[in-house]
Chain A
């Protein structure tokens, strides 16, 4: 995706210009529409997609975001964009044809005061967006990895949880993946070299062999990426996950679909 390269190039500029941005941030959204959505027209959400976001990022490194869909059967792709972040495209979820995903909750980093957009592509090919403004966290909160040694030591571990779904026709589950999802760009104080970014760039979730969703993402997702969602069960006995990171790491998990806990 060209967006990734462009965003990475933009990241360095963003880093250098953050001080200025914090004061008078220009609205990056028009340019993001060009970069991420190839200038396609984007209509108001009109209830088709709803973004739940906190008014303030409590912890800059872990900000919960939920995209809800009024008619899950009509959503093809749902994209989460943190406008002011160095790499704004946090995650794009391509939903399985019959998975009928009702909502997706994940966690992102929010570097500074920012609009967050949830953009849904419906099966008629149209784009609709909901947006929320999120205030930056205060104090010593930083969009950084909490414990880098621990994050690296546990890389690739996964956890699967099931929940009682509010909708009896749906199942509700959560996939958690240990990964530093590190932004890079910081200097290693010993080698004086800039650390490379190391992040999950793709996660596919299947029931049996049928995709529930495929996520493509970047460094705006929090460390230990997590996805909680509802889907329409197809009778399969297993949930399967395959995740990839930008350094070629492949992480797999599989669990029996049980009774909701």
Chain B
């Protein structure tokens, strides 16, 4: 009870000058494995970018943090909540990919001395997109973006990398271009928990910012990972593995099938983007925010299929 009250106090303390903090929930989903569920929403000033799922894995000696949230404010709230759970040193901060809702909180962890870890393409993706993200989200989030900096990884993963947290070895795996060009998953064999990053969306419509066909392929290969539950990039945590992959697969297949038919008929990209995948609308949240975008990028990709 006292611990819980302390956590509340920590979360409510002003974390960024002139900006109120928000309560931050962090639950233990397996012994030594923590997860935070973000809102299923776009990043706004009101939610301070808190839309992605985040996590932490605690070994005998050290902690690995998985993604840091969509603002410095959220990153600091996450760190404060984590410090209520464990005082062990944070040895690693792992980013599952480059998107702002997963990386904008990195700055909060710089002073912990942690090593930042990501996919081999993550530094390049942050360099190419970081400046755009900072200006685009300033318009969307206003002063909730204050203090956000782009913090690239200093340790990168080519294929797989095992990190030792003290009697707890976690396995990082880098994937071909799928949701993005720098997707990384984290498996904790001890608990059977998989952190999928945005290679898995639940309830929140999947977002394709890399390759539609790559996403389908990688998601199918993920199913072979020996885990029992998953922390998706977005949506309820935890979820049963690998059953949690099913809805996303149906959406990506529907979109692919519709786009191939539109291309075959000779439709243009603008027309196809209005209709492809729309049978799935009722099954997903934020559908109208992302489906036409997925369809547009998917069209440009699938157009190259065939002779």
Query: Scoring A residues 37 to 51 as 1 if CB is less than 8 Å from chain B, else 0, what string do you get?
Result: 000000000000000
For chain B, residues 249 to 307, give those with C-beta under 8 angstroms from any C-beta of chain A: 266, 268-270, 273, 289-290, 292-293, 295-297, 300-301, 303-304
Q: With A140-B99, A140-B209 known to touch, is A186 a contact of B134 (CB < 8 Å)?
A: no
A147 touches B210 (CB 8 A): yes
Residue of B nearest to A56 (CB): B292
Instruction: List A contacts of B266 (CB < 8 A).
Output: 161, 163-164, 261
B138 touches A19 (CB 8 A): yes
B167: interface (CB < 8 Å): no
A140 touches B133 (CB 8 A): yes
Instruction: List B contacts of A137 (CB < 8 A).
Output: 293
With both chains docked as a complex, state the minimum distance between the C-beta of A28 and any C-beta of chain B, in angstroms.
16
Instruction: List A contacts of B207 (CB < 8 A).
Output: 139-140
The interface-forming segment of A57-65, A70-78, A242-250 is A57-65
Residue of A nearest to B131 (CB): A15
Instruction: List B contacts of A4 (CB < 8 A).
Output: none
* Interface SS of chain B: helix
Complex: how many Å from CA A147 to CA B177? 7
A145: interface (CB < 8 Å): yes
Q: With A59-B293, A159-B304, A176-B304 known to touch, is A18 a contact of B135 (CB < 8 Å)?
A: yes
Q: With A19-B134, A147-B177 known to touch, is A189 a contact of B126 (CB < 8 Å)?
A: yes
B140: interface (CB < 8 Å): yes
Partner of A146, one of B42, B43, B135, B211: B211
B138 touches A22 (CB 8 A): yes
Query: Scoring A residues 157 to 195 as 1 if CB is less than 8 Å from chain B, else 0, what string do you get?
Result: 001010110000000000010100000001111100000
Query: Scoring B residues 126 to 159 as 1 if CB is less than 8 Å from chain A, else 0, what string do you get?
Result: 1111011111101110000000000010000000
A198: interface (CB < 8 Å): no
Q: How many residue pairs at the A-B interface have CB separations less than 8 Å? A: 123
B129 touches A144 (CB 8 A): yes
B124: interface (CB < 8 Å): yes
B105: interface (CB < 8 Å): no
A112: interface (CB < 8 Å): yes
Partner of A139, one of B42, B268, B270: B42
Instruction: List B contacts of A149 (CB < 8 A).
Output: 121, 181
Complex: how many Å from CA A60 to CA B214? 20
With both chains docked as a complex, state the minimum distance between the C-beta of B63 and any C-beta of chain A, in angstroms.
26
Instruction: List B contacts of A238 (CB < 8 A).
Output: none
With both chains docked as a complex, state the minimum distance between the C-beta of B70 and any C-beta of chain A, in angstroms.
10
Complex: how many Å from CA A98 to CA B45? 55
Complex: how many Å from CA A177 to CA B115? 41
B74: interface (CB < 8 Å): no
Residue of A nearest to B100 (CB): A140
Instruction: List A contacts of B132 (CB < 8 A).
Output: 18, 60, 111, 142-144
| B residues apposed to A, CB below 8 Å | 42-43, 99-101, 121, 123-129, 131-136, 138-140, 152, 177, 181, 207, 209-211, 214, 266, 268-270, 273, 289-290, 292-293, 295-297, 300-301, 303-304
Q: Which 5 A-B pairs have the closest CB atoms?
A: A189-B123, A18-B135, A58-B293, A140-B99, A22-B139
| A residues apposed to B, CB below 8 Å | 15, 18-19, 21-23, 52, 54, 58-64, 66, 105, 107, 111-112, 136-150, 159, 161, 163-164, 176, 178, 186-190, 222, 224, 226, 228, 261
